[in-house]
Structure 1
Amino acid sequence: MSRSVIIDGSVIYTNYSQIMGQKKFESLLKEFIEILKERRSPLLNALNAFKLDGDYDLRRFVEYLHLLTMRNVKELTNIIYYVNPRDLEKFVEAFYSFWRSKHRFMVREEKYSDDHIRRASIEYTITQISDQFKAVIKNLYRELMMNISNSFPTVMRQLPSGAQVAFLVEDIDGEKFDRLPWIRKIPTVWGAVFDPPVIFYTKSNKRKGVVPVVDEPVLDKIELNPKEWFRFPIFVGDLLFYNLVHVDYLAHGAGLANLFELATPKHLRQREPDGMLIFGLEPSRIPNFNERWRNGVIFRDGKMYVGIIPAIDENDYFGYMKKTTLTIHNLIRIDQGRLPIHGSMARIILKNGKMAVAMFVGDSGAGKSETLDALSRLEEVAQVDTIIDDMGSLAIMDGHVVAYGTETGAFVRLDDLPPGYAYSTMDRSIFMNPDQINARVIVPFNNYNEIITPTHIDFFFYANNYTEVDRDEDRIVFFDNVDEALKVFSEGKRMSKGTTSESGLVTSYFANPFGAVQRQKEHHKLAEYYLKKMFETGVKVGEIRTMLGVEGYEKEGTTLAAKALLKIIEEL
């Protein structure tokens, strides 16, 4: 059985029979028992009374559980002569935990409506259904435990046990993209309701390698089963992407809904996609698959880039979903003559009224987001509006360099953020592997209109996380010319922070292995052009030393860098 459980959102859940009468319940129970068999778990002792021909009579056991929702275990001795209540209590408790370990999604088919009042009504309905389902599950567990133990706890815990995310889906009619007839049958997500805290545990928590780009057609060689796939249409900046996600990896689809702006069926009827990503396709179904594509591949199919992430355990990490999506975005931007930037950018407003927009360029773990967070906590700072958290692009408008964002949320590494940050965002976030190194949280931070609005920049920094400095005046240095700046940005040095498979001091061209490396010749011409334009128009280009990779300065370094930047802004 898949670790993702799909709950029917068309049913109003009011009684236990709707849960226990489903084949899905019996299948879940069977899967749990098979795991116990492999472990030779003593929990199986609870089922000794239900053995039949060397196996367990699951149908009879489910019927017995159903009776236990109405009567005490002692009253059922005439049906099953001997069931050990203590063993059964431990089994039910473990089965409940097993259910809660699943990735749980409710799906309801609804036609999208342009009327916002109608949409609010639809979302209210699925929220109510999700809440009712959660209540029935919790009450079922409590009823069973009470009738098995013949007691009721004095302390009750409202454990998350319903759907973690509810999706509103529609089979789109009349969409403009008509090249693939099968794609119209894939359920298309146009709305989502989260029940926080949403916590997913995945099989991997690191990303490695650079996604290769192959110039060959692929879409006509692939067809996806609508019973196993979901389509998440998203806006990456102002580009429309179709991200197709296998049900086993639906947690990463939920992540998309918290990181990017969801497109609606209305948008799909008006325009064709600019890019596409298929996440979770079996390697045997990828045309001409080879080991170089193990962690992903991007095909240039005519004018469209199509990314594919193979269904391999080591790829079960949201970083592959996000970074491959952004790599496709960057390839498109390079083709358009815009410079993709791997970095963050924010509008920094001081209490004295002064304001500046700073962009930080750097690869994963360089201290970009952490420095902005440190700035926001300084007493002199009134507000820090994050416009770009991870990827953006530069363009020229009216002779000046302007920046555009891509995401409305952030995929943040918790290890380097201040204590308590995770708790302050718990009500809006998706947590990925929170107990592991490189634990991440996906949290929304901005609205879509702001990230796609062109923004003039005042500072363009390379985020250096490896140089240890003692003097405040050395924490930020400015370049004197384009060649000097181009050399530092192109080298892309950083101290690895465990977010990828790399270790030690590493380099990555322009700190951007997401499109810049694959199109390095074209990118370098663009980078030189944009840096020249910055020097011509007064944008200050330099390097900020975050010391995030320097032992002993993991927390303090970004605060010191933030204070140095604050001083420069105050002197403007």
Structure 2
Amino acid sequence: MRSYVIRDDILLFNPSQVLESRIFSYLLKEFVEILEEKSDHLLEALEPFKKGKNVNYRKLREILMLLTVKPLTKLETSLLESLLKRREVLIEFVEALYNFWREKHRFAVKRAKYTRTMKRKLSLEYEAIRIGENFEASVRELYRRIMYNLMGKPFKVMRQLPSGFQVIFLVDKLRSSKVERWMKDIPIVWGAVLRPPVIFYTRSNKRKGIFPVKEGKGPLEHFKPSEKNWLCFPIYVGKYFFLVFVQEEFLCHGTGLLNLFEITDPLEIGDRKPDGVVIFGIPERFLQEDEKRGVIYRMNDTYYAFVGDSPETDYFGYMKKITLTVHNLKVLEEGRLPVHGALARVKLKSGKTVNLMFVGDSGAGKSETLDALERLDEISEIRIIADDMASLAIENGKVVAYGTEIGAFVRLDDLPPGYAYHTMDRSIFMNPDQINARVIVPFGNYEEIIKPTPVEYFLYANNYTYVGSENERLVIFKRPEEALRVFSEGKRKAKGTTGEVGLTSSYFANPFGAVQRRKEHEKIAESFLKKMFETGVRVGEIRTMLGINGFEKEGPRLAAISLLKMVERGSL
């Protein structure tokens, strides 16, 4: 079991309660079973507690309880001689058990009726903080007492290691007449307390495939989440209202939503029907073969997305992308254009401001070019409106863009040196020791991203073409047909962020809705590009060279310099 979830009916406030809790029993048994599988030398510490081949866990816990109040040498037990002979391995065992606990994903769920009254709301949040601090102090105190009484001497260095809850969720009931009956039984998250640094380790770190879209009830014909081990995260994805149901073993991905999307105020839900529903962690046996990596069903004008509980889909990329795919399907239904790209408002020190949109699939160099641009001396400020997905609309005769996320899910390797440490207290880290390590960083406020932002530059991020001269780094198209061809081809050199390798192609660089509804998308994309040319939007291609060996940093920097010069000139 990777995730340990303590609910408010068994909150623990002192070392004795921790030791006597069911959660400690589960942890201890799991730890010993792993040692037995490996025939680990630490099993020697358990010899005094064995009857035949079986460990007497009750006796083991009794001795641990005694060690919270007395040194090993003063224990009154028939096991004393045997324990003294194994003092060193007992110390190792307790240290390893403590580290085993700290490697787990640790959550608490506290029920508290949501209120908008500031004083009451703050009181509930402070109470959650106090619960978290007390629990962490109790766990550390339990460890220190036992270790002190085993060693017979104090620690030379005291380390305040994170050992309590990583996240405390504040939950209430979902009160709405517009949702299905089973949804009302699932606790709904309205707030959370995070204990940084928040670091999670998942069983996968790449996403593969495209989510099929079907009609009907799908897995809901045979399975519905239950109150026992699911939580509901109400979020806004752009302007759309989503309910995301997460099985507790995958609460690390539910936590990631807190940094990426705006949490919905429960009182705003009222009788509002959700625009999208995501169910993450459904037993894989309820999914068909082509649905194993995620599937979306359309039922009664609402999209339902499902991701299974397999190790392969245990990656936040699946949570994020299936959610954004549902968003994009809704956008297309409204005749608007979903865009897989980054949108930023760039202010120069000269006072000039310009809105830039970069389009491209994962690893194309969108974020890297914006980062390189921000490092140039001529730049005063860059405000990110959309980091990965946006939608376009035509309002008052002009093309405007809307963001979807209040954060970014980015590769650690693509961030500036030291940036991850600078934001460690606010970020959520995923597999920081692996290739394609990721971090979820909050960057904006919801009110800003859902305001219409006029698009002035609409650029395809080409990461695969080598360019040696400055005038080739940024190409502005002369006709809509030329632009439509390049954007539709969606070429890029894969960087290992997905299961793809080499030079790949994805329609409009957007396998999240555009591919599934290509016929509708083609008509909408053509009309939007024509409108851009009619209204003076600069549509073109920026060569980031991010996919070319040796140009991972220099390529985006050179592209940023060329773009800056064009913006400063204000003309072609």
Shared fold by TM > 0.5? Answer: yes
2:169 maps to 1:199 = no
- Structure-1 residue corresponding to 2:353: 355
Structure-1 residue corresponding to 2:289: 291
**Are 1:154 and 2:156 an aligned pair?**
yes
Q: Is 1:55 equivalent to 2:57 in the alignment?
A: no
- Equivalence for 2:182: 182
For residue 492 of structure 1, report the CA deviation from its aligned partner: 0.4
Stretches of structure 2 lacking an aligned partner (at least 5 in a row): none
Tell me the matched-pair count.
566
**Segment drifting more, 518-527 vs 119-128:** 119-128
Q: Which amino acid aligns with 2:555?
A: G
CA–CA separation in structure 2 for the residues paired with 1:215 and 1:505: 33
Which sits farther off after the overlay, 97-106 or 266-275? Answer: 266-275
Q: What SS does structure 1 have at the residue aligned with 2:107?
A: strand
Worse overlay, 501-510 or 47-56: 47-56
Identity of aligned residues (%): 54
Aligned counterpart, 2:113: 111
For residues 35-54 of structure 1, the aligned pairs below 5 Å read 35-54=34-53
Instruction: Give yes or no for the alignment of 1:317 onto 2:315.
Output: yes
Deviation at 1:192, TM superposition (A): 1.1
> 1:238-277 alignment to 2 at 5 Å?
238-277=239-278
**Shift of the alpha carbon at 1:79?**
4.2
CA offset digits 1:176-219 (Å, max 9, x no partner): 324x2111010111101111110000000000000000112334
Instruction: Give the TM-score taking structure 2 as reference length.
Output: 0.97
Which of residues 456, 462, 470 is equivalent to 1:458?
456
Partner residue in 2 for 1:72: 71
Counterpart amino acid of 2:71? N
Query: Counterpart amino acid of 2:239?
Result: D
Contact 1:12 1:132 in 2 (8 A): no
CA deviation vs aligned residue, 1:490-547 (integer Å, no higher than 9, x gap): 0000000000110000000000000000000100100000000000011100111111
Tell me the secondary structure at the aligned position of residue 46 of structure 2. Answer: helix
> What is residue 498 of structure 1 aligned with on the other side?
496
Cα deviations across residues 145-187 of structure 1 (Å, max 9, x unaligned)? 11111122222222111111110001223x1324x21110101
**Does structure 1 residue 521 correspond to structure 2 residue 519?**
yes
Provide the rounded CA distance (Å) in 1 between the counterparts of 2:499 and 2:74. 58
Tell me the residue number matched to 1:141: 143
The 3-state SS of whatever aligns with 2:44 is helix
Match of 1:23 in 2: 22
Equivalent position of 2:134 in the other structure: 132
Distance 2:182 2:11 in 1: 31
1:410-462 Cα shifts (integer Å, max 9, x gaps): 00111122221111110100000001111000010000000101100110000
Counterpart Cα distance in 2 of 1:118 and 1:363: 45
Q: Which residue of 1 aligns with 2:224?
A: 223
Match of 2:104 among 95, 102, 105: 102
Amino acid at match of 2:157: V
Give the CA deviation at 1:221. 4.3
Q: What is the CA deviation profile of residues 17-60 of structure 1, one whole-angstrom value per residue up to 9, with x for unaligned ones? A: 11011112111100110010000001111111000232111111
Q: Secondary structure at the match of 1:141?
A: helix
Residues 246 and 280 of structure 1 are in contact (CA less than 8 Å); yes or no, is this contact kept in structure 2? yes
Please list the CA deviations of residues 86-138 of structure 1 after superposition, one character each: whole Å capped at 9, or x if unmatched.
01110011101110111001111001101123212211110111111111111
Corresponding residue of 2:447: 449
Aligned position for 2:173: 171
| 1:139 partner SS | helix
Amino acid at match of 2:54: D
Q: String of CA shifts for 1:284-340, please: whole Å, max 9, x gaps.
A: 2x3xx3211110110111201111001111000000000000000001100110100
Distance 2:377 2:308 in 1: 47
Instruction: Tell me, yes or no, if the aligned pair for 1:355 and 1:569 is still in contact at 8 Å.
Output: no
Provide the C-alpha distance between the structure 2 equivalents of 1:478 and 1:405, rounded to a whole number of angstroms.
Answer: 24
State the superposition RMSD in angstroms. 1.2
Structure 1 unaligned segments of length 5 or more: list them: none
Contact 1:9 1:126 in 2 (8 A): no
- Kindly provide the CA deviation profile for residues 362-386 of structure 1, in whole angstroms up to 9, marking residues without a partner as x: 0001111111112222221111000
Which residue number in structure 2 is paired with residue 508 of structure 1?
A: 506
Q: Deviations over 1:200-254 (max 9, x none)?
A: 0000000000000011233454322210111011100010011110011010000
Residue 14 (structure 1) shift: 3.6
> Which residue type is aligned with residue 353 of structure 2?
M
Deviates more, 1:376-385 or 1:512-521: 376-385
Name the CA distance, whole Å, in 2 between partners of 1:106 and 1:505.
Answer: 45
- For 1:202, the aligned partner's letter is T
SS at match of 1:404: strand
1:412 pairs, out of 400, 410, 413, with: 410
Instruction: Tell me, in whole angstroms, the C-alpha distance in 2 between the residues paired with 1:11 and 1:310.
Output: 29
Give the residue type in structure 1 aligned to 2:192.
Answer: A
State the partner residue of 1:336: 334
CA contact (8 A) 1:186 1:226 kept: yes
Give distance in 2, aligned partners of 1:299 and 1:357: 36
SS class of match (1:443): strand
**How much has 1:11 moved relative to structure 2?**
6.3
Native 8 Å contact 2:14 2:134 kept in 1: no
Deviates more, 1:63-72 or 1:315-324: 63-72
**After alignment, is 263-272 or 98-107 more displaced?**
263-272
What is the DSSP-based 3-state SS (H/G/I as helix, E as strand, rest coil) of the residue aligned with 2:270? Answer: helix
What amino acid sits opposite 1:266 in the alignment?
Answer: L
Q: Is the 8 A contact 1:9 1:130 kept in 2?
A: no
